[in-house]
Structure formats: structure tokens, C-alpha cells
Amino acid sequence: MEKYEYGNTDAPVVLIQPADEHMLGAIQNEIDLINDKAALEYLLVVFKVDDWNGDLSPWTAPAVFGKEGFAGRAEETLTEILYYCRDDSKTYYIGGYSLAGLFALWASTRTDVFKGVAAASPSVWFPGFDVYIKDNGIKADRVYLSLGDKEEKTKNPVMATVGDRIRGTYELLKSEGIDCTLEWNEGSHFKDATLRTARAFAWIINTLRE
């Protein structure tokens, strides 16, 4: 994966974000939005994934929309990201949008390296993830969740479960004593992705100042 760094390389707070080429094109706007909402210095490290469905899915699954299924190569992606996160003087947080948000949640069940998760409109409809997260738990201290208020109103029967899944995930994390919030945004899954991602990371940063 290609890696891009933005911000203060000496900052103790490091935000990790998997993104595709389209999201990478909007990254400066995301940074501006984060800076507008949070005042703590940070380094944002973006890992550009080449195969969105393949590189971020935790296990194989058939296509849910379109014809492309999920190859389940998240473990390989996480290994590469963790190789970067080896500086003990830094504190690492992981987040992302859509399937990258799901990846961030899944990653935090696999390692305690990430102290917080910023999951904006995460694809928690992913087959089997609700059972997986109950069985494995989150190792992060704080988790931000969000969803668009129209996302669960889709005609796709799998993706329509996202509302109940996000509510269930929120209640599960709260019951485990994790500092967690669930924010509802206006619109469908494809509205304001950059803004929603910025809000997620800003919440993480702001909780560090409390």
C-alpha cells in the first residue's frame, strides 16, 4: 500500500485511515474540517488501498451490491499498518468511512495498538460481523460511531440491517464500559462522507483533551 502523511510528524497523536483514490483526493478538505473542529496537533497517515472490497473485508463474503464479492484480505492490510505503528512514543487511533470504518472496528478486536476508533458510517451490515464483535470484543478505549438517517431505508435486504446493527454495536460497547458515542447524520450513505469522517476523527481528538 502507498502511505501518505499529513500534519505534524512529531505529534504524539497519530490518526490512521485506510482510503481509496477517490477519498485521497478529498483528504485536504477532511483535514481542514478536522482542524475546524479540533485543536490538538496530530499526524494523519493515510494508507491507500488498491482493492477496497478485498483489502478491507475481514473474511470472504459474496457480493451484496453489484457483482464484486469480498476477498477477506483485511489481515494482510492490518499487518502492513501495524508494521508502521511501532513507535512507543506515539498513540495510534484508527478510523475511516464505510468499509474502512468496519475495518477499523475489526482491527481493534485484533490488537490493542489502537486506543480509539473513528468509524464513520461503518459497514456493520457485513455478514457475520454482529456475531463476531460480540464474541471477540473491542480492545480500544473509545469508539465513535455514526450513520446517516436514511442508510437503513435501502431496498437492499443485507444493507438494510445497518441501522439495527449500529444500534446493537453501540449498546454492546457501552455495556462493556467503552467510551462510545453514536451520531446520526442527515441523508444516505453517500452524503457528506468527508465531513462525517472528519467529525469522527475530531471526536476522538477532542476526547483526548477532556
- Provide the residue-wise pLDDT of the chain in tens; the chain has 210 residues: 899 999 999 999 999 999 999 999 999 999 999 999 998 999 999 999 999 999 999 999 998 887 889 999 999 999 999 999 999 999 999 999 999 999 999 999 999 999 999 999 999 999 999 999 999 999 999 999 999 999 999 999 999 999 999 999 999 999 999 999 999 999 888 889 999 999 999 999 999 865
pLDDT digits (tens, 9 = 90+) for 56-99: 999 999 988 878 899 999 999 999 999 999 999 999 999 999 99
Give the pLDDT of residue 210: 59
What three-state secondary structure class fits 146?
strand
What are φ and ψ of residue 50, in 5° steps? -85, -30
Q: Name which of 3, 20, 15 is nearest 54 in CA terms.
A: 20
**H/E segment holding residue 199:** helix 193-208
Distance of CA 24 to the CA centre of its chain: 15
Q: Look at residue 105 in the predicted model and tell me its pLDDT.
A: 98
How many CB atoms are located within 10 Å of the residue 6 CB?
Answer: 17
CATH number at residue 96: 3.40.50.1820
Joined together, the cell numbers standing for residue 54 give 478485498
Number of domains in the chain: 1
Domain hosting 65: range is 2-208
pLDDT of residue 39: 82
Q: What is the pLDDT of residue 66?
A: 78
pLDDT of residue 153: 93
Q: What is the pLDDT of residue 208?
A: 83
pTM of the complete model = 0.97
Cell numbers that stand for 83 in this block? 508494521
Q: Which of 124, 198, 125 is nearest to 156 (CA)?
A: 125
Beta bridge partners of 97: 120
> Distance between CA 176 and CA 56 in Å, rounded?
25
